[in-house]
Each structure stands twice: as C-alpha cells, then as structure tokens.
Amino acid sequence: MTKFADSKYVKALCDITFRSYDHGWDERNGGNVSLRLTAAELAEFDDLTEVKRTYDLGFDASELAGQYFLVTGSGRYFRNVIKRPELDSGLVKITVDGSQAELYWGFEDGAKPTSEFPTHLMSHIARLKVDPNQRVVMHCHPTNFIALSFTQALDERKLSRLLWQMQAESLVVFPEGVGIIPYMTPGTNEIGAKTAAKMADYRVVMWPHHGIFAVGADLDETFGLIETVEKAALIYSQIMAQGGQIKQRITDDQLKELAQAFDVEANPKFLA
C-alpha cells in the first residue's frame, strides 16, 4: 500500500504552497491552507492508524466530527513545504465531540496546525451547507488585493464591481463578488466567525490590511480563484500607476452579457 507522504494530496499541497510563495503571496510564515479528505480517499494508505498527538480546537467543531483535513503548520514557511511536507503539514481528524483534532500523519518535529485552523474549520462548516463539493480553504496575502483595502471604501458592492470591471474573467470566476469583514486580530475565534458568516454567500473574503480567504472544490480551483482576484487588483494598480485616467471600462450591459454567455448568475445586489 502507498504511504501517505507519497500521495497525490501531499504532492498537490506541496505544489500549491510553493506556487503561492513564488507569486509573492506568502512571505515568511504568512498563509495557510487546508484540504478536506474523505475516509474513502484515505483507505488506500497504510500509515494512518495511529493517533500521534491531539490538539485542542478551542471551539465546537462537532459539525465536522470524523472529517479529515490535510493542513499546513503554524509558523511554517510556504516555501519549505515542498522540501519537507512531513514537518510542515499534517493530516488530522476531528474528534466525535468536535473539541480536538487527532494527528495521524505529519508535523513530525512537534509542529501543530496553523493558528488559523479554527477559522478554516468554521469556513468549511459554512461552505458544506452551500456546496459539499468545496473542500479547500486557503488564506494568503496577495499584494494588490491588500492594497485595495487601504485605498478603496470597504464596501462589498463597490469593490466587487471594481474587480469585475478590470477584466472579463472576474465576473465569470467570482460572480457572487467579494465579501469583506472589518479589520480584526487574526488567529481568533472572533475573526473565524465573521469570516464563516461571509462564506455563506461568498467564496472570497477580504481581510482588510491583511489578506484573503478563499474556498474551492480543489487546490487548483481555489488557487485560480485567488489568482483571478489578484490579477484584477493588479490591473487596477497599474491603471493608477499610469495616471488613473480610465477612459473606457466594461459596462454593466457588457457584464450582463458575460454572465449570460458563461451561464453564471451575477450577484443581483451588485449588478442590477
């Protein structure tokens, strides 16, 4: 039987974390990612029977009881995961009472899941109610997207429309727009609850002056979602660098045509 360290899931995590670092989104130990895996997907591996350690979660995650998550470690650098995944990531299972996570693989040098793991789990709970196929939560620090939180009103309608108007792909990839929470201290249950509340309606949530939380069906889709949001923010940054004079833009009628052409439903609150 295959060892979990050699699995496609670990290899995909290594690839995405390095690509995210290489994009400049995850300086030092910034960023974290979690992937929900099914028991059936894990059945083929021969090294997942012993509980090596347990971690207190600090909130009631019983809605995820029995669920497995491959998650990056606290204080670990994304650029290193590809070189030492068994140290910088781990596979955990949520206990029946939802109070702890049991470690089955990884974190071999004593590491623990990211400090944002409770926030990830809260977002997983929220998205399971919307689309059970969405299994990835990713947090990182895209430069141009963060910059918008300093120069633009923290208004979901205005920011979503700005990003939609920067490129045709935006509305197609995130037709619901972007959710925004107030600036809050990271690593707390409070920011986790605020983020999860937004996840009921959005797959992208802005943490002002800090970064982005995004969800998707797999690692590639989630990465591509963030990539599209950041590209739109980059285009706007370049427009401002070139003098800020927008002489033409994608109109509302053209946005509606895009939605129809690609069979997506644009958020009606943002595109009347």
Residues classed as catalytic: 116
Contacting residues for 265 by C-beta, under 8 A, at least 6 apart: 175, 259
What is the C-alpha to C-alpha distance for residues 255 and 236, in angstroms, rounded to an integer?
17
Contact 76, 29 (CB under 8 A): yes
Query: By the 8 A CB rule, do 266 and 259 touch?
Result: yes
Please name which of 192, 207, 214, 183 lies closest in space to residue 58, comparing C-alpha atoms. Answer: 192
Q: DSSP alpha helices (H): ranges in the chain? A: 8-22, 39-42, 78-81, 85-88, 117-128, 143-151, 156-164, 168-173, 189-199, 219-241, 252-261
Sheet of 211-216: strands edge to edge?
A: 53-56, 100-106, 89-94, 68-72, 32-37, 136-140, 211-216, 204-207, 179-180
